[in-house]
């Protein structure tokens, strides 16, 4: 297995098209997010959609809760860089208005639009227009009848039944262009609901932990739920529901898929040591500066920031590029080989410059570039490594002294 490649066999689902983005089948797993602007604010919403697309979002959802929002969608759709999904909750007329606005997909919550004739009418119009629908079951807004029937509790079975009831209405009008989500704020509940749903249907599944909350807890909950399912081969599109700037949702979704080897790397994968008593720099601050400097630059390399030259280059030898601090210097290394030494205050600039060079010209060109500097860089790294190892002592825990003391206690 190649480093960074996925080894999770994916469950087979049928494929639908959301605008020009395929979802399901063998299509890449996509990242979704949702705008938090008023949809009637066309320019503000478009700005957020562009920011989301830049951050790696493939599909964006906007609320369509009032007629002004539907009017906004009519103006947003033709200017959006990614397909637009209209989020519909209580009023089926908003779904019809959103279809009229030209959206690429609808999201219906079966717990909120309950009249069969309304559901079937929306499905019929969506079918006529060739627009798919996501059945978005939400544990918090389950149909009251289902809630009662399942013992007054939100259960995985109740959530799956909700999706199947909606599917049955769609079947009546011959509408099959469907993806489904069964989100809950409880991670174990959503995991089990998706497992059962995946066994029951072959529609593409949209994964998410709803109302996951602010970071870092929300990020951890969403990752726990989504990653568990992806590792089981379940899921065709994902959304992090964070109480945060939606751009963070898109970044998180993209980062998860890249980390699991399910999408190709788009931006820098910044790794950094956690720091320890050996650190020669403020690793947290330098890593933050590096993250900011790389921003959304499309440089698909793994770049390491390491706190000391004693262990840094070795621990990050698989990174494409890295820098380790030592004796007020930054020791640059490419795939574990020292290539240059820069002053400590130029570490971040050097990382960005070398990463850009490698991205433009390749690793071989980087080694060629380092031909005149690498021998000196290696010697300086050796010297600083030896000096620092001596300064801190090879044995940072002073084990022998401790052992002596413990023996005396015996
Ligand atoms: S690279 Fe150095 S500073 Fe960072 S955790 Fe490892 S030993 Fe500590």
120 or 112: whose pLDDT is higher? 120
Sequence length of the chain is 410
**Quick check: 392 pLDDT over 80?**
no
Confidence of residue 222 (pLDDT cuts 50, 70, 90): very high
Residue ID of nearest Cα to ligand 1 atom 1:
312
- Is 275 exposed, middle or buried, given 0-12, 13-18 or 19+ CB atoms closer than 10 A? middle
Q: What is the pTM of this model?
A: 0.88
Give yes or no for residue 278 CB within 6 A of ligand 1.
yes
Give yes or no for residue 41 CB within 6 A of ligand 1.
no
Q: How many C-beta atoms lie closer than 10 Å to residue 32's C-beta?
A: 29
**Å from CA of 231 to ligand 1 middle:** 31
Mean pLDDT of 140-153: 90
Mean pLDDT of 372-395: 84
Confidence of residue 281 (pLDDT cuts 50, 70, 90): very high
- Contact criterion met (CB below 8 Å) for 246 and 48: yes
Mean pLDDT of 251-268: 94
Give yes or no for residue 308 CB within 6 A of ligand 1.
yes
- Contact criterion met (CB below 8 Å) for 197 and 205: yes
14 Cβ contact partners less than 8 Å away, ≥ 6 residues apart: 24, 25, 202, 203, 204
Give yes or no for residue 389 CB within 6 A of ligand 1.
no
Give yes or no for residue 83 CB within 6 A of ligand 1.
no
User: What is the chain's mean pLDDT, rounded?
Assistant: 93
Mean pLDDT of 128-133: 98
Say what percent of the chain tops pLDDT 90: 83
Residue ID of nearest Cα to ligand 1 atom 7:
311
Give the per-residue pLDDT at 170: 97
**What is the atom index within ligand 1 of the atom nearest the CA of 280?**
3
Mean pLDDT of 360-374: 95
**Quick check: 321 pLDDT over 70?**
yes
Confidence of residue 84 (pLDDT cuts 50, 70, 90): very high
**Quick check: 390 pLDDT over 90?**
no
Give the per-residue pLDDT at 82: 98
Query: How many angstroms from the chain centroid is the CA of residue 151?
Result: 36
Of 196-200, 220-224, 352-356, 397-401, minimum mean pLDDT range: 397-401
Give the residue carrying structure tokens 């870092």.
Answer: 216
């Amino acid at each position: 297995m190649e480093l960074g490649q996925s080894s999770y066999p994916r469950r087979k689902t049928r494929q639908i098209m959301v605008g020009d983005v395929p979802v399901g089948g063998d299509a890449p797993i996509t990242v979704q997010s949702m705008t938090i602007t008023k949809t009637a604010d066309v320019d503000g919403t478009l700005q957020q959609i562009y920011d989301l697309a830049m951050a790696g979002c493939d599909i964006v959802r906007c609320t369509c809760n009032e007629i002004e929002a539907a009017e906004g969608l009519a103006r947003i759709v033709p200017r959006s860089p990614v397909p637009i999904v209209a989020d519909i909750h209580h009023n089926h007329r908003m779904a019809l208005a959103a279809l009229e606005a030209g959206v690429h997909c609808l999201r219906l919550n079966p717990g909120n639009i309950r009249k069969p004739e309304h559901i079937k009418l929306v499905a019929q119009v969506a079918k006529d227009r060739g627009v798919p629908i996501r059945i978005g079951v939400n544990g918090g807004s389950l149909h009251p009848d289902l809630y009662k029937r399942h013992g007054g509790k939100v259960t995985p079975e109740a959530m799956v039944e909700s999706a199947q009831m909606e599917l049955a209405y769609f079947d009546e009008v011959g509408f099959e262009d469907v993806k489904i989500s069964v989100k809950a704020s409880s991670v174990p509940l959503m995991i089990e609901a998706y497992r059962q749903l995946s066994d029951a249907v072959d529609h593409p599944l949209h994964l998410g932990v709803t109302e996951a909350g602010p970071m870092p807890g929300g990020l951890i909950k969403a990752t726990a739920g989504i990653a568990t399912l992806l590792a089981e081969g379940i899921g065709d599109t994902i959304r992090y529901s964070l109480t945060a700037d939606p751009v963070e949702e898109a970044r998180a979704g993209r980062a998860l898929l890249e980390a699991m080897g399910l999408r190709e790397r788009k931006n820098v994968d910044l790794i950094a040591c956690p720091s320890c008593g050996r650190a020669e720099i403020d690793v947290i601050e330098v890593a933050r500066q590096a993250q900011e400097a790389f921003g959304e630059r499309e440089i698909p390399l793994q770049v390491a920031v390491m706190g000391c030259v004693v262990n840094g280059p070795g621990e990050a030898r698989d990174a494409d590029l890295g820098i380790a601090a030592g004796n007020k210097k930054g020791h640059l290394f490419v795939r574990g080989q020292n290539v240059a030494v820069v002053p400590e205050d130029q570490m971040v600039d050097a990382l960005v410059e070398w990463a850009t060079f490698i991205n433009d010209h390749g690793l071989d060109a980087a080694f060629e570039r380092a031909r005149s500097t690498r021998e000196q860089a290696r010697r300086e790294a050796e010297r600083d490594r030896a000096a620092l190892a001596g300064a801190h002592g090879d044995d940072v825990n002073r084990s022998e002294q401790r052992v002596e003391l413990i023996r005396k206690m015996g």
